[in-house]
Amino acid sequence: MLTAAFPSLNAAISSSKVLGLYFSSAWCPDCTPITPALKRVYESQPADKFSVVYVSSDRSNEQMMKSFETSHGNWGVIPFESEERSGLKKKYGACAGAEVVQLGCYKWRSFEQVGVAIEKASKMLRVIQSCSR
């Protein structure tokens, strides 16, 4: 089960019907316009319907937190140094180009910013949408 491998997702999964994992970074020029759009969508939804967790490809914890605190919604974030961050990137193949070899993202997509929506259906979780350029 996803929450067994990634316990940081427990609160978000248990509190809403749909969880969006937002793979992005502050330095990515293609990601920066997506973040405010996602924030608007997130803020327009009831909390029990939709939650988001940020999985960063920023270059440091400081860069991640600065971006998160100034640009993102009031959603969850996987800690920068967490093994879960690299585990989620590997699981969904959502790594920045520089991380492919380091993290072993062999399912790597050609574009770093990837959103994965996970629908909660009883106790089963499944990927319902994955998008990349």
Comparing C-alpha atoms, which of 77, 67, 79, 72 is closest to residue 35? 72
Measured distance CA(24)–CA(30) in Å, rounded = 9
Span 43-81, pLDDT tens digits? 998 878 888 999 888 889 999 999 999 989 889 999 999
pLDDT of residue 118: 62
Give the pLDDT score at 3.
65
Which candidate, 68, 82, 60, 61, places its Cα nearest to that of 22?
68
Name residues of the chain where pLDDT drops below 50.
108, 110-113, 122-124, 128-133
pTM above 0.95, yes or no: no
Give the model's pLDDT for residue 133. Answer: 42
Q: Using alpha carbons, list the distances in angstroms from residue 86 to 41, 92, 96, 102.
A: 26, 10, 11, 10
